[in-house]
Each structure stands twice: as C-alpha cells, then as structure tokens.
Amino acid sequence: MHTIPGNDVPSDSPEGGDERLTRWEEDGERSAESAGRDLADVPAVEVITTTAVHLMSAAAVKVGLADDPAHQTDLDEARKLINALAGLITAAAPEISDMHARSLRDGLRSLQLAFREASVIPDPIGKGPGEKWTGPVN
C-alpha cells in the first residue's frame, strides 16, 4: 500500500484511486495541450524535413549502414522506409525550398544505391525502392 504524494489516503482505497486517476487525466490533458502548442509553433518545412530525416536514419540502419549490420539489416523493412521517404520527398518538394529538397533527394539516392548494393538479387532498373517516384537510380 502506498499513498499519493501530498495525500494521506492510500492509493488502493476508493478515494485514493479516484484522486490518482483524476490527477493522471489532468496531467495527460496538460501534456497534450502543451504538445499541441509546441507543434503549432513549428513550421511545416521543419516537420517535413524532420520526418524525412527520421525515415532516412531508420532506412540506413535497415540497409546495413549502422554499427552492427549483421544483426540490423532488414531489406524488407528498408524497402518500405525508402518507398515512404521517396513519396514524402516527391510530394513535399514543391512545398519546401530547393535547398531542402536537394539535400533530401541526395540522401534518398544514397539509400537507394546502398539498398541495391546490399541486395543479393538486385531489382530491375526502375523497380527498386522509391524508384516509382524518383525514376531509375544507377
């Protein structure tokens, strides 16, 4: 049995449990409001580029470009991530500056080439991950 900080009512009693639940719900609402305010302050370009960088990082690990490729390589997962990244970059390119789009395209191309190199049975040209959106990469 334990008590809620600042309260002498045991948390396993009906009164303590209700108060704890109420506090938990209030904390959750405050966190959600704070996150909403934080996101409202972030420009769309930053959200897009941050998302792309997360996809790139995950794809790099799955392609085998991380510290432990023997245990982290998963080309099926890498294909999904690279496809999502290519779709995002292609769709977002007109919305973000050329400076941002160019560096994202370069990173995507590097991942596509790394995927091709890591594949035991390479995809036909134009059929690799993301090539539906980027065109053939060689």
Residues 73 and 30 in one domain: no
Total count of domains within the chain: 2
Residues 23 and 72 in one domain: no
Report residue 137's pLDDT band, with 50, 70 and 90 as the boundaries. Answer: very high
Contact, 59 vs 111, CB < 8 A?
yes
Beta bridge mates, 10: 3
Residues 20 and 60 in one domain: no
Residues 3 and 63 in one domain: no
Which is more confident, 113 or 34? Answer: 113
**Both ends of the chain: CA-CA distance in Å?**
65
**Mean per-residue pLDDT over the chain, rounded:** 86
Question: Distance between CA 29 and CA 112 in Å, rounded?
Answer: 42
Residues 60 and 12 in one domain: no
* Structural domain range at position 30: 1-41
* DSSP annotation of 106: H
pLDDT tens for 46-92 read: 999 999 999 999 999 999 999 888 889 999 999 999 999 999 999 99
Report residue 16's pLDDT band, with 50, 70 and 90 as the boundaries. Answer: low
pLDDT exceeds cutoff 90 at 134? yes
Residues 61 and 123 in one domain: yes
Residues 14 and 50 in one domain: no
